[in-house]
Structure 1
Amino acid sequence: MIGLLRRLRSAGVLGLNCRNGDYILQYNDRRHYPLVDDKVLCKQRLLRENLPVPELIGVIGLMHQTSRINDLLGDRSEFVIKPSRGSGGDGIMVVTGRRGDYFIDSDGEMIEQDTLEHHLTNVIGGLYSLGGQPDAAMLESLVHFDPAFSRLTYHGVPDIRVIVYRGYPVMAMSRLPTRLSHGKANLHQGAIGVGIDLASGMTIGGVSGNSAVSIHPDTGAPIEGFQIPGWGRILEMSARCHEAVNLGYLGVDIVLDRDLGPLILELNARPGLNVQIANRRGLRAQLDAVDALGDRDEPPEQRAEWSARQLGEPPRDLLVQALS
């Protein structure tokens, strides 16, 4: 085990303790956390910064409001329910249609209104929130993913996680829903993590858990060599989030809507480190490269261009050898 840790450190892999102590603690002022941890507040801030997000249908924060969900939805048949202060994808319910008095979820299952209202009460009661604190249920428009992804997803919307350090995108991956993840782009629930070359926006291979995968298990499509649409725009949007929430180390989650293009789904003040496994490379070299720039006053578009030019995909042999 000690030998493995040494090899990973030599390969530039960032561990949790180092991430927390050297980057999150140093560059993320805790007074800004509530803005990111609360999805409603975060969405409102991003809108003020003219950053595109999925439409907010409404917020249900009181138990007696759950029975009036139809008044809030109007004639909408598609929507997503999210805990405002949830994490890890828990508590998210995706509704793709209605049939009579029933709602239809992303797996095609029929849901009675009583079941949906019960789910809302669980959200409000804090079942899925950080620390189990009382929460609110956010109702958001359903994203219709870009058809370019049609062969790389199963019953869900793939997303893109970009790690941004001091305003510079430093690493990115796409998370592809699978049958195992029930159509959710959540790695812990079985989605596939796919590394992305910052220079080109081209996928460079995938992982499921800690195992490398080359094809999507449900569609049979190859994972490597897929061009992410609108890659330059995605990097620029991610860079702009640094000023929007005043965090020096954050994760930006973006989805590609077929009609609206890139939309920011949410931000994360404590992004996980799976992105290194997906890219089969450590984060340390990219973070060091940004630190070597010193303090610069550059606009987001220039920071995005620098990242694409300087932090493109290098050889991944070191990390592969460290894990072998």
Structure 2
Amino acid sequence: MERARDKVAAKVALVERGIATTGTIAVISSYGELGNFDPEKVLPPAWAIKPARGSQGDGILLAVGKKGRNWLKGSGKEMTPADVYNHVQKVVDGQFSGDSEPQDAALIEPLIIADPTIAALVDDGLPDMRVICLKNEPIMAMMRFPTNESDGKANLHQGGIGAGVALDTGIIFRAKQGTKVLTHHPDTGANLIGFQVPHWDKVLDIAGRSGPAIGLGYCGVDIVHDKNHGPMVIEVNAHPGIEIQNTTLQGLRGAMALLGEFD
């Protein structure tokens, strides 16, 4: 369970099992390391900074490029080296820690470039997948699409779209934004229903192996499709939200029963 709460420990466990996951630029896990951290020397033009013990996307900072000495957010707003350092300091201080720990670690990763077939569905932001697994069996899946309303974040509670995906085919069969059932993305007009998720066999494979890799019998595996590396695990959640049931109109208990868990 400890490895599931800590993104750094979880990533180490996934890599040890040969499960595709995002790369690592640096980990700042102590005040000593923070004191030696120079953003201009360490960071490339594009990156993502995440709290190791964060939750619900709190504390994540993204740079999509660079202008002079400053990095650029997706909105075009500039971040100075001091801005970046101060954010990393807040992470290490535990300000975004999901479990109220007094100190956290900043995990710095390369920025993911979305698979073009998926990126074409949205106006901005990075779509991802949530696969619910019981032991090593995927039992439910959905894609999450960012919208302009969600400010480019694939967060359902902030206006993102949840789209149910059929496990046997990898095809989207239902989509909703809040209480509104959709067939098309509201910003791009792209048809969501019938969309075939790329590399579906690999998605199921890495999802099913992720929980056991970090010692979880039940989990939600978050996966992104990178342009160059294909499906990769970005996070494994020990307590995934159950909004996926409303998205897919399927019950988790029923899905578990099919595996004989409630005989």
* TM-score (normalised: structure 1): 0.77
The answer to whether residue 85 in structure 2 is matched with residue 132 in structure 1 is no
- What is the DSSP-based 3-state SS (H/G/I as helix, E as strand, rest coil) of the residue aligned with 1:212? strand
The residue correspondences of 1:157-168 to structure 2 (distance < 5 A) are 157-168=126-137
- What is the DSSP-based 3-state SS (H/G/I as helix, E as strand, rest coil) of the residue aligned with 1:80? strand
Matched-pair contact (CA < 8 Å) for 1:49–1:244: yes
Matched-pair contact (CA < 8 Å) for 1:66–1:120: no
- In the other structure, the counterpart of 1:46 is 14
- Cα shift at 1:132: 2.7
**AA paired with 1:243?**
P
Matched-pair contact (CA < 8 Å) for 2:51–2:105: yes
- Cα shift at 1:292: 5.6
Q: State the alpha-carbon separation in 2 of the partners of residues 262 and 233 from structure 1.
A: 7
- In the other structure, the counterpart of 1:177 is 146
The residue correspondences of 1:219-238 to structure 2 (distance < 5 A) are 219-238=188-207
Q: State the alpha-carbon separation in 2 of the partners of residues 234 and 77 from structure 1.
A: 29
- Cα shift at 1:254: 0.6
Structure having greater relative contact order (Cα 8 Å, sep ≥ 6): 1
The answer to whether residue 42 in structure 2 is matched with residue 60 in structure 1 is no
- What is the DSSP-based 3-state SS (H/G/I as helix, E as strand, rest coil) of the residue aligned with 1:71? helix
Matched-pair contact (CA < 8 Å) for 2:172–2:194: yes
- In the other structure, the counterpart of 2:174 is 205
- Cα shift at 1:180: 2.1
> Any stretches of 5+ residues in structure 2 without a counterpart?
none
Q: Provide Cα deviations, 1:182-230, integer angstroms capped at 9, x if missing partner.
A: 2222222221111001110000121112321222121111211100001
Q: State the alpha-carbon separation in 2 of the partners of residues 283 and 247 from structure 1.
A: 17
**AA paired with 1:156?**
G
- What is the DSSP-based 3-state SS (H/G/I as helix, E as strand, rest coil) of the residue aligned with 1:164? strand
Q: State the alpha-carbon separation in 1 of the partners of residues 9 and 60 from structure 2.
A: 18
Q: Provide Cα deviations, 1:81-131, integer angstroms capped at 9, x if missing partner.
A: 000000001111111000002110122221222222221111111111023
Q: State the alpha-carbon separation in 1 of the partners of residues 96 and 182 from structure 2.
A: 31
Matched-pair contact (CA < 8 Å) for 2:211–2:236: no
- Cα shift at 1:293: 9.8
Q: In 2 relative to 1, CA 157–251 (structure 1 residues): closer, same or farther, beyond 3 Å?
A: same
Q: Greater Rg, structure 1 or structure 2?
A: 1
- In the other structure, the counterpart of 1:37 is 5
Q: State the alpha-carbon separation in 1 of the partners of residues 150 and 261 from structure 2.
A: 39
- What is the DSSP-based 3-state SS (H/G/I as helix, E as strand, rest coil) of the residue aligned with 2:114? coil
Matched-pair contact (CA < 8 Å) for 2:135–2:212: no
The answer to whether residue 46 in structure 2 is matched with residue 78 in structure 1 is yes
Matched-pair contact (CA < 8 Å) for 1:107–1:182: no
- In the other structure, the counterpart of 2:124 is 155
CA RMSD of aligned residues (A): 1.6
- What is the DSSP-based 3-state SS (H/G/I as helix, E as strand, rest coil) of the residue aligned with 2:45? coil
The 10-residue stretch of structure 1 (131-140 or 259-268) with the greater mean CA deviation from structure 2: 131-140
The 10-residue stretch of structure 1 (59-68 or 118-127) with the greater mean CA deviation from structure 2: 59-68
Q: State the alpha-carbon separation in 1 of the partners of residues 228 and 179 from structure 2.
A: 34
1:119 to 87, 95, 115: 87
Higher helix share: 1
Higher strand share: 2
Q: State the alpha-carbon separation in 1 of the partners of residues 30 and 214 from structure 2.
A: 28
The answer to whether residue 247 in structure 2 is matched with residue 278 in structure 1 is yes
Number of residues of Structure 1 aligned to a counterpart in Structure 2? 260
Q: State the alpha-carbon separation in 2 of the partners of residues 136 and 36 from structure 1.
A: 14
Q: In 2 relative to 1, CA 156–66 (structure 1 residues): closer, same or farther, beyond 3 Å?
A: farther
- What is the DSSP-based 3-state SS (H/G/I as helix, E as strand, rest coil) of the residue aligned with 2:64? strand
* TM-score (normalised: structure 2): 0.94
Q: Provide Cα deviations, 1:250-273, integer angstroms capped at 9, x if missing partner.
A: 001111111111111110000110
- Cα shift at 1:181: 2.0
2:221 to 247, 252, 256: 252
Aligned-residue sequence identity (percent) comes to 37
**AA paired with 2:42?**
L
The 10-residue stretch of structure 1 (79-88 or 151-160) with the greater mean CA deviation from structure 2: 151-160
Matched-pair contact (CA < 8 Å) for 2:219–2:238: yes
